[in-house]
Structure 1
Amino acid sequence: MNMTKDEIILREAFDALAENTGIQASYRLMSFKSDHRLDAEVQIIINDTVLRFAADVKRELRNYHLRELPQTVSDLPLMFVADRLFPAVKEELRREKISYLDTAGNIFIQHRQIYVWIEGNRKMQGEKKQSVNRAFTKQGLKVVFLFLCQNHMINMPYRKISDLAGVALGNIPLIMEGLREAQYLLHLNDQDFILNRKKALLHRWIEAYRDILRPSLHLGNFKSTTPDLFKERLMTGNIENAVAGGEVAAEMITHYLNAEIYTVYTTQTSKEFMVKNRLIPDEKGNIQLYEKFWDNYSKDGRVPELLVYADLLITDEPRCLETAEILYEKQLKHEFE
């Protein structure tokens, strides 16, 4: 039986914990009615004491994840189980007394007179790679983006999905299978599907978009000799074959953020865009140009709200994270919760 990505992370973490410390742990995948973003109930035995946690399982934990979840769910304390935890995130978790475990066997628990803090373990090199889920490859992410923006597309003919996402037809069945294996698609009846665990899928998409798809779309950074005019043109939809993303789009939607970085998605080449808009290449320039990877559902000269949200979270900048929360509450929450 194929394991889900959550099960893979949990088993690797528990195996490393047992190998390094002798501490035994087990899990049970389940849904929490009080918070559907949580994934499993975890049981850890330390000195004959059984500790139970509600676990949020992630490939990688970022600062914005910490802003979303309460420390307790009913009578269970929260634990993050992740493949990768950054030092600054671990420090923040310890400060808030939130338990964590990673797949190298590093662990922190401060609960019911039990205090455990083990750090410094590294994952063994040369471990066997798990098979890649095709839903979270470059092509798969384009399809998932289509589904997240237009849920009904999951039940369209594969050729229609292929055409709208700009992905080869032969990839679509593999991408659909990847979503089913990860439990993000559920059968509604014999023919139709519905998206499952939509907020978890959203954040899985954002993480993979940041690491896999977005870097491949980057066409370069630029600066303008008339930055205020460029921003005005971008916000009013007066730049040919281009739409605003990131901070500029967030300013357009929320009127809360004063954009400093101008993220632009375009169907033009970088040279065409640079020449037509009289820009100067600059590695540290505040105009960040990306290839537009979707079709037919931009809004009022800007990218869809979902991509604005992703662009903001990816920055890890406090002012952008705050705006992302406002955007989510006003524009996205009703779709994902």
Structure 2
Amino acid sequence: MYRDNDFIYEAIANFEEYSGLKVNVESTRNEYDAVLQIQHYSFCVWAKASARKSNVGIILEQIQQYDKNKNWILIADYLAKDVAEILRQQNCNYIDGAGNANIRTNNLFIHIEGKKKEKKEKKNQSRAFQEVGLKLLLLLISDEQSLQLSFRALAEKTDISLGSVSYIFQELEDSGFILKTKQRRILKNLDVLIERWVIAYNEVLKPRLLRKKYSTKRDDIEFFYEFSNAEEIYWGGEPAAKILTASLRPAIYTIYYNGELPKMSIGLKLIPDSNGNIEVYNMFWTDDLKFKYPNTAPPLVVYADLMGTESSRNAEAAKIIMDNELQY
């Protein structure tokens, strides 16, 4: 799929204006999004349209993959202020679309902040990455065979309208995420699609699903897992990662539950606490979504929960889930 990275040039133009430096941009190298020459230093460019708190886990995981012998720089069309602070703590160079920058290498130090990008008129937002689209995409990504179902069957399985299914499929085809042949439909550019799903889920849908936060005085937190076997409780985030990867000790307990909160809170001996580390969300998938792990949310939801945090250990667990559960 063609990657729209034209924002690189706008970001560089704004950076040149505020820094007073001339930047040479080479964008013909297939292995990088671009290569910058600033003074006598070269930087391999990693471009992202959006760097937000909702996909900071993906960003931190990608930072770890890059060759430490090269100078790297993130160029983001939009870079959230709190993410910029995280990048500075990780010693990651960046330039955003407004020209804000933080670059440190050898004797070169540049810091620009407080610049605002001219706002563009908003375009109609894609249905594919709003609530109904996220529900449909969860099924399509989680179950490869669902791509071959009729629109009516997909509407029934996801509890969304037939018209919405049709519109969303057309958007996904137009965006290069679905290829339709005479025999079948094929999901394309899965890594890009999953990243967009993670961002939209953490920003659009998940905040609407939050029901309540709790804390507990119990020491035997393993009781949670025993209780979930008898109730319609599904673990997300860190506790689900513990089940899926056997490599993570939870600090935040994410629960998906559509039942009565008093029943659950009494059973688990929970204390209402707006700052608590036990977070209860409504489920948003239907029983037609089948997955092999009982009492865990779908792997894509668990992956998104983990990637929506700033934790490097969560990013490592998320990568295991990606490799084992989300690859066709």
TM-score class, shorter:
0.7 to 0.9
Q: How does 1:1-337 map to 2 (within 5 A)?
A: 6-7=4-5, 9-10=7-8, 13=11, 16-17=14-15, 41-42=33-34, 53-60=44-51, 62=56, 64-68=58-62, 70-71=65-66, 78-82=72-76, 83-85=78-80, 86-92=83-89, 95=91, 99-107=93-101, 117=110, 119-124=112-117, 126-187=119-180, 189-190=181-182, 192-224=184-216, 226=218, 228=220, 231-235=222-226, 237-271=228-262, 273-274=264-265, 277-295=268-286, 296-298=289-291, 299-329=293-323, 331-332=324-325, 335=327
Aligned to 1:56, what secondary structure does the other structure show? strand
* Distance 1:19-1:137 versus aligned 2 partners, 3 A rule: farther
d(CA) in 1 for partners of 2:310, 2:41:
36
Q: Deviations over 1:309-328 (max 9, x none)?
A: 22222222244334334444
d(CA) in 2 for partners of 1:159, 1:77:
51
RMSD: 3.8
Count of residue pairs brought into register by the alignment: 317
- Contact 1:64–1:316 at 8 Å: present in 2 too? no
The offset of 1:249, in angstroms, is: 1.5
Aligned to 2:274, what secondary structure does the other structure show? coil
Gaps (5+ residues) in structure 2?
none
Gaps (5+ residues) in structure 1?
35-39
The offset of 1:89, in angstroms, is: 3.7
The offset of 1:216, in angstroms, is: 0.6
The offset of 1:218, in angstroms, is: 0.6
> Which deviates further from its counterpart, 19-28 or 254-263?
19-28
d(CA) in 2 for partners of 1:57, 1:169:
33
- Contact 1:13–1:102 at 8 Å: present in 2 too? yes
Aligned to 1:300, what secondary structure does the other structure show? coil
The offset of 1:294, in angstroms, is: 1.0
1:282 partner letter: D
**TM-score (ref. length: structure 1):** 0.75
The offset of 1:54, in angstroms, is: 4.9
Residue identity (%): 24
Aligned to 2:248, what secondary structure does the other structure show? coil
**TM-score (ref. length: structure 2):** 0.77
d(CA) in 2 for partners of 1:140, 1:79:
33
1:279 partner letter: L
1:261 partner letter: I
d(CA) in 1 for partners of 2:175, 2:226:
38
